Homo-oligomer: A and B are copies of this chain.
Amino acid sequence: MTVKPSLNPLVALTQQSMSDVNKVILDRLQSNVSLIPQLAGHLIAAGGKRLRPMLCIAASMASSNNTTKSPESALYLAASVEFIHNATLLHDDVIDSSDQRRGKETANSLWGNEASVLVGDFLFARAFELMVETNDIWVLKKLSVAAAQITEGEVKQMSMLGQPESPLSDYFSVIKGKTGVLFAAAAETGAKVGGGNEIVCEAFYQYGLALGNAFQIMDDALDYGASDSQIGKDLGDDFSEMKITLPIILAWQDSSDKERKFWKRTLDTGEQREGDFEQAQLIINKYSCIKRTLDFASAEVEKAANAISIIQDSVLKDALIEAAEFSALRDS
């Protein structure tokens, strides 16, 4: 029996700096306007894996050949990336009218959409303040371009709603935007402030991009029950929000006319009834679309590992490769 890949080695190696990153995050959430740290703290304290800042820290350590600690500017950068990520989560929850996130009530359901929109904007602005503190124009350029690409990905995703006939290329362009580029920029700019040269920075960009894509593909598979250990968990959010993800596009391509009518009814006109989600899962499994989705994720993992093959071997490099494998083989 093979051992499942884990994030633990990367968590252990970045622990010291990540504890400093958390201090920066809490410090920069502060504001005279008390609703801001209250609302943002609710989301950020709920945690999540902190994968984006962790990659930023790890890339900075790998590039500076300091195996225990990252340079100080990487702390600002890592916090900045986490702020951008959380800003998009706040806005996503408003857009999807979500009630739950990370097992807690969402900020929009507790404080209203207005507050969530504004505090998202605050986090976004604070993220820029933090990255300015790196004093590195190259870093600022990369992250501001990434920020624009994220929103382009999200708008494109919205434009695809209800169109299961969308080509695969549209899906990959959406996930690169909404997820891949922030992972990519986190790793790339981490490498830069760690002292990495152009080749190392580009390697970490490609590593982050592929890992981020794998992470999102897996996310989209998990929403249709890709993992056996998901029993009892909430599934079907993407389906009820009529999002066009990889399992759906693959299923559409192989579907019969009758099945295509089902997809159009449930995902385009949005008429969803009791039992529709189970029916969607049946069609998806009939054409092995979860397995094929996971194959796409595995291909990204291979790209990620290849990308950083140029850096020196170390336990950190092994942990980075395992983190990429984890992204595509996780249960939640």
Q: Are B158 and A144 in contact (CB under 8 A)?
A: no
Contact of A156 among B33, B87, B151 (CB under 8 A): B33
Q: Which residues of B contact A55 (CB under 8 A)?
A: none
A114 within 8 A of B: yes
Task: Give chain A's interface residue range (CB within 8 Å of chain B).
Answer: 35 or more
A32 CA to B156 CA, complexed, in Å: 9
Closest approach, in angstroms, between the C-beta of A131 and any C-beta of chain B?
8
A218 CA to B154 CA, complexed, in Å: 37
Interface class of chain A by DSSP: helix
A87 CA to B121 CA, complexed, in Å: 10
A286 within 8 A of B: no
Of the listed residues A91, A94, A120, A148, the one surrounded by the most CB atoms of chain B closer than 10 A to its CB is: A148
Q: Known contacts A132-B144, A159-B35: does B94 contact A151 (CB below 8 Å)?
A: no
Q: Which residues of B contact A151 (CB under 8 A)?
A: 118-119, 121-122, 125
Q: Which residues of B contact A118 (CB under 8 A)?
A: 91, 95, 151, 154-155, 158
User: Would you mind naming 15 contact pairs between A and B with Cβ atoms under 8 Å apart?
Assistant: A31-B152, A32-B152, A33-B156, A35-B155, A91-B117, A95-B118, A118-B158, A119-B151, A121-B150, A121-B151, A122-B151, A126-B148, A128-B140, A135-B137, A137-B137
